[in-house]
Amino acid sequence: MASLMTLWLIVLGTSLVCFATKVAGYLIPERWIHHERVQRINGLMPIVLLSALVAVQSLTTKTHLVIDHRLAGIAVALGALVLRAPFPLVVLSAALTSGLLVHWHLA
């Protein structure tokens, strides 16, 4: 019962933090938002967050670092991006590489 209560406290606390962040966004002076440095940081934020997500999902299993078929798929996708392949082809090549390595028991 205590773990369920803890879970609800975490959910409510997280909700309050999200709401406070949203309200703070409305209270920030507009000149701060239009500052050149803030604009550059905001432009890079999605790239950084997505890169971190890809790294964590590709290189970890629970609490362990692993090098397996997922890393090969990322490497092939990176190569396709360098060659300026269309995005669907990048995703397909990564999935195909990863799937074939698993199928052939190489990873």
Write down the residue that tokens 């709401």 correspond to: 19
Q: Is residue 2 part of a domain?
A: yes
- Hey, is 64 helix, strand or coil? strand
Give tens-digit pLDDT for 31-71.
Answer: 998 999 999 999 999 999 999 999 999 999 988 999 999 99
Task: Tell me the residue range of the domain where 5 lies.
Answer: 1-34
End-to-end CA distance of the chain: 42
Q: What is the DSSP letter of 68?
A: S
Residue 30 belongs to a domain? yes
Evaluate whether residue 80 is within a structural domain: no
pLDDT digits (tens, 9 = 90+) for 77-87: 999 999 999 99
15: in domain? yes
Count up the domains in the chain and report the number: 1
Q: How many CB atoms lie within 10 A of CB 5?
A: 9
Q: What stretches of the chain adopt beta strand conformation (E)? A: 60-61, 64-65
Residue 54 inside a domain? The answer is: no
Residues across the chain: 107
In a domain? residue 13: yes
Distance separating alpha carbons of residues 65 and 76, to the nearest angstrom: 20
Q: Does residue 58 lie in a domain region?
A: no
Cβ atoms < 10 Å from Cβ of 51: 10
Domain membership flag for residue 86: no
pTM assigned to the model: 0.65
